[in-house]
A and B are shown apart, each in its own frame.
Chain A
Amino acid sequence: MNQFQYTRPAETAVAVKSLAKEPNGYFLAGGTNLVDMMKMGLVVPDKLIDINRLPLKKIEKTATGMHIGALASNSEVAEHAYIKAQYPLLALAINAGASPQLRNMATVGGNLMQRTRCPYFFDTAMPCNKRTPGSGCGALEGINRMHALFGASDKCIAVNPSDMNVALAALDATIHVTGVKGPRAIKIGDFHRLPGDHPELDNTLQKGELITSVDLPTASSAYNKHVYYLKIRDRTSYAFALVSVAAALHIENNTITGARLAMGGVAHKPWRLSTAETFLKGKAVNEDNFKHAAQIAMQGAKAYEYNKFKLKLAPNAIVQSLKLATGLAS
């Protein structure tokens, strides 16, 4: 690792000001992604601002739902009794990612900021518009079996690697951030972005902004009974998703009164399946309806040379997750 400056402020305002002054500075939280990338030479910061001493660790129930401090660790969230009971989708998704050691270190804010695992992004000998804008996309004509089905551009076909983000998308989370211009709130659907012409930008944070919390609405906690997070990967455990599905249904008298569905491993951002959700509303709990919903969800999917299998895997995963969530499969 190259040398860098290191500061460890105790106040959020100081941290934010400190980064605003530093063009090549980064906030350091759990470090599980950033330190790894620094070792690979993908990120070479002049300054790290260690935010681990900021008072942003609280997890608490609020009048409007659930407040999760940006520095709460992934395992603290996944093991939180109230979250497990009321927002089980989030706990399941978090526990499907990484390893226990990494989840103990990684923070909620850091997980939101997690960068893609596209091998062309990680190999500095390869072109990558995300790492080096203008250098081209190695994956477009390369080995692209891990890559996107939705919302990609000819500049980038990488996917967001997070499991937690998929659950947050399904649960309508709001991301609270603060910067030199003050605080603002960003809906999870507007936080991550599609690559378009600027794949170097993973999200809509402005320079110097710091994530302070993730808030979940009370309404999401109504989806706590029929829930499943299905993650399909190359090995049983401890691997990134080829496809994942977060499914939560509200069911009354065998009728779906509301559905929350999102997919991971298929786009540059967690991919909410809004049209499938709309279709499922008012439908009976049965496999035919799930298959139809999956078909609707896959409209507009576009595969590349090596990820065509995902065109079949993804709808099957949607159906299976819905069956598992509703007890039609076990």
Chain B
Amino acid sequence: MSTTKPCTPTDGEDNSNGTRRDFLKQTSLLTAIALTPGTVVKAAENQWDEKLAGVFEKQALHLEVNGVKHELMVEPRVTLLEVLREYLDLTGTKKGCDRGQCGACTVHVNGVRVNSCLSLALTNDGKKITTIEGLAKEEELHPMQEAFIKHDGFQCGYCTSGQIMSAVALLKEGHAGSEIEIREFMSGNICRCGAYPNIVKAIQEVKGGMV
């Protein structure tokens, strides 16, 4: 852990769960045994210090997020979305359905848009992530952000960061040729408020400016 808060979400977790204890006993420690001094293993095995055992479950994760390098230790079950929001305090990326259906969690990984809720953080080790916080240059908004404001491309705003990240990627992918194509290739971002016509207008304006 370098650039982040020392506190992780799992620190506050109730560890009294029997399944979790059993799991630690049965699996993680088998791996740990090969790597660690006998006394430490023994301590964990006897559940004297489950937090110590928890350390063995975590693995190193290197990410470059919006140009800033981070080195963290995370459990394998932590998603990229959770790392961004809970570990790095980049709460612009939203958790909507958490099932890859709504698109609120859309970010760019090595320049490609993905649903960060379905991406385990560790699979992104060594990659470059761009979130909504990384689009603007200092005080100057990204043209897509400007266009969303101008065309009222949102009401409640919850889906907006995902919409904008998707829209920026869409222009790069070259699938914004017509309104139908824009709608099809934006279909992974759902807007409960129904701001779709204005979102399409915003994308068309930025597309026009690019030509």
Q: A: which residues have CB within 8 A of B?
A: 1-6, 8, 28, 31-32, 35-36, 38-39, 46-48, 50, 52, 75, 79, 98-102, 104-105, 237-238
Q: Mark B93-135, 1 if CB is under 8 A from A, else 0.
A: 0000011100100100000111100111011010000000000
B23 / chain A contacts, CB cutoff of 8 Å:
2-3, 46
Is B170 in contact with A100, judged by CB distance below 8 angstroms? Answer: yes
A5 / chain B contacts, CB cutoff of 8 Å:
27-28, 31, 76
B103 / chain A contacts, CB cutoff of 8 Å:
99, 101
Is B27 in contact with A100, judged by CB distance below 8 angstroms? Answer: no
Min C-beta distance of A106 to chain B, whole Å? 10
CA distance A25 to B75 in the complex (A): 17
B184 / chain A contacts, CB cutoff of 8 Å:
237
Q: Is B137 an interface residue (CB 8 A)?
A: no
Is B113 in contact with A100, judged by CB distance below 8 angstroms? Answer: yes
Kindly state the interface size class of chain B when it binds its partner: 35 or more
Min C-beta distance of A269 to chain B, whole Å? 24
Q: Is B142 an interface residue (CB 8 A)?
A: no
Is A102 in contact with B115, judged by CB distance below 8 angstroms? Answer: yes
Min C-beta distance of A40 to chain B, whole Å? 8
Q: Would you give 28 A-B contacts (Cβ < 8 Å), ordered by A?
A: A2-B77, A3-B77, A5-B28, A8-B123, A28-B123, A31-B118, A32-B100, A35-B79, A35-B119, A36-B100, A36-B118, A39-B98, A46-B23, A48-B76, A48-B120, A99-B189, A100-B113, A100-B166, A100-B169, A101-B103, A101-B114, A101-B115, A101-B166, A102-B100, A102-B188, A105-B115, A105-B118, A238-B187
Q: Contacts A2-B77, A46-B27; is A100 near B99 (CB within 8 Å)?
A: no
Additional 14 contacts, C-beta under 8 A, given A31-B119, A36-B118, A238-B188: A2-B77, A3-B75, A4-B76, A4-B77, A6-B122, A8-B122, A31-B118, A31-B123, A35-B79, A75-B112, A101-B106, A102-B100, A102-B118, A105-B119
Q: B: which residues have CB within 8 A of A?
A: 19-20, 23-24, 27-28, 31, 57, 59, 75-77, 79, 98-100, 103, 106, 112-115, 118-120, 122-123, 125, 166, 169-170, 173, 175, 183-185, 187-189
| Nearest-CB residue, chain A, relative to B106 | A101
B166 / chain A contacts, CB cutoff of 8 Å:
100-101
Min C-beta distance of B33 to chain A, whole Å? 13
Q: Which interface residue of A3, A31, A38 has the most chain B CB atoms within 10 A?
A: A3
Min C-beta distance of A46 to chain B, whole Å? 6
Is B19 in contact with A2, judged by CB distance below 8 angstroms? Answer: yes
| Nearest-CB residue, chain A, relative to B75 | A3
Is A32 in contact with B77, judged by CB distance below 8 angstroms? Answer: no
CA distance A48 to B120 in the complex (A): 11
CA distance A1 to B81 in the complex (A): 14
CA distance A50 to B125 in the complex (A): 12
CA distance A3 to B99 in the complex (A): 18
B188 / chain A contacts, CB cutoff of 8 Å:
98-102, 238
